[in-house]
Amino acid sequence: MGKGVMIVAEQQNGEIKKNSYEIASEGKKIADALGVSATLLLIGSEIKDEAQVFFEYGISRVIVADHTELNDYSNEVYASIAEIVVKENGPSHLIVGATAQGKDLAATLAGRFNVGLAQDCTELTVDSGKLIATRPVYAGKAYAVIEFGERYPHIATIRPNTVSVVKVEIPIEGDVEEISYPLNGTNYKTKLKEVIRKGDETVDLTEAEKIVSGGRGVKSTENFKLIEKLAASINASVGASRSAVDAGWRPFEEQVGQTGKVVSPNLYIACGISGAVQHLAGMSTSKTVIAINKDPDAPIFQMADYGVVDDLFEVVPALIEDIEKNK
């Protein structure tokens, strides 16, 4: 068994993602409970100076792989770098964000080290020196409590927006350690040639603190402008149910559900969404849920903290007007 907790942070275009601060805080908490140190790995381009921010979260050692070729995620490249760093440092626990990139990377590392992996966890605790992971199962209807075996490192990914961001009172005074890249003797089987980005800069749904989602009840692409307007009034991101995406009203990247994005915002407003099991699985860990639907028997109301049984085309405009009036 190695010692120490290693956190694998994430950046996008040179900007550290919000979830990285969450897992840094959680990794520090786990390290303290185990009585070991916390190390963080960050891979990217021109991010060495940015990496110093993690000392504010109590991370005692920050390792960076900084190279122009590392700006965009490549599974084979990132996994090879992380594998070498893990082998050289021998951590007993590896904490990664449960983003699309993080889950992909964690699964690859678990395969390479032939160890167990707890994906998409909502809570990590330490009991008698052992890491205990809690994660939703059966489309969010139950939670599995997982205890790791004797193979190390133990790897867990943490769902965004489910743990707190905590800075330490006195930041660590440390230096960022840079590792060399390209890795000598590594012949990659794949090469990332191009990344096609959307034109507008929107918050990733998995990290959004507020989401307004529309479903079949919105009825058309044109009507989704109402959902967009409500979202804009409270600085929220726009989501959609699978039926709205299948109908072509919204792009797939906005789909919330088991086959779309799994989200955990502080506020989730569901407009015209009945609440199929597939959709509920994607937003069951939302802090506060508001549902607007004409059908009083819609399953979404079983999940909602507040429900409005009425026509969304009557309720949403009135809600927008009231929000704008009280800003």
- Which run of H or E residues covers position 238? strand 237-240
Q: What band does 139 get if pLDDT is binned at 50, 70 and 90? A: confident
Residue 319 has pLDDT above 80, yes or no: yes
Torsion of CA 71, 76, 82, 85, to 10 degrees: -110
> Which of 71, 83, 95, 84 has its CA nearest to residue 8?
95
Contact 134, 143 (CB under 8 A): yes
Find, among 213, 218, 190, the residue nearest to 311 by Cα.
218
Instruction: Tell me if 83 sits within 8 A of 183, measured CB to CB.
Output: no
Long-range contacts of 128-135 (CB under 8 A, 24+ apart): 129/34, 131/30, 131/34, 131/93, 131/156
- Which CATH class for the 5-179 domain? alpha beta
- In SS3 terms, 22-50 reads as HHHHHHHHHHHHHCCCEEEEEEECCCCCH
What is the per-residue pLDDT for 313? 97
What's the pLDDT at 321? 96
Q: Of 16-20, 182-186, 225-229, 258-262, which range is least confident?
A: 182-186
Residue 281 is predicted with a pLDDT of 92
Tokens of 306: 């507040």
- Cβ-contact 242, 267 below 8 angstroms: no
Query: Where do you find CATH 3.40.50.1220 in the chain?
Result: 205-325
Mention the CATH class of domain 205-325.
alpha beta
Computed over every residue of the chain, the mean pLDDT equals: 93
| pTM score above 0.85 | yes
CB 316, CB 273: distance < 8 Å? no
CA distance 10 to 19: 8
Secondary structure (DSSP) of 270-301:
EES----HHHHHHHTT-SEEEEEES-TT-THH
- Measured distance CA(60)–CA(56) in Å, rounded: 10
Enumerate the CATH 3.40.50.620 domain ranges in the chain, comma separated: 5-179
What pLDDT is recorded for position 145?
97
* Residue 187 pLDDT: 75
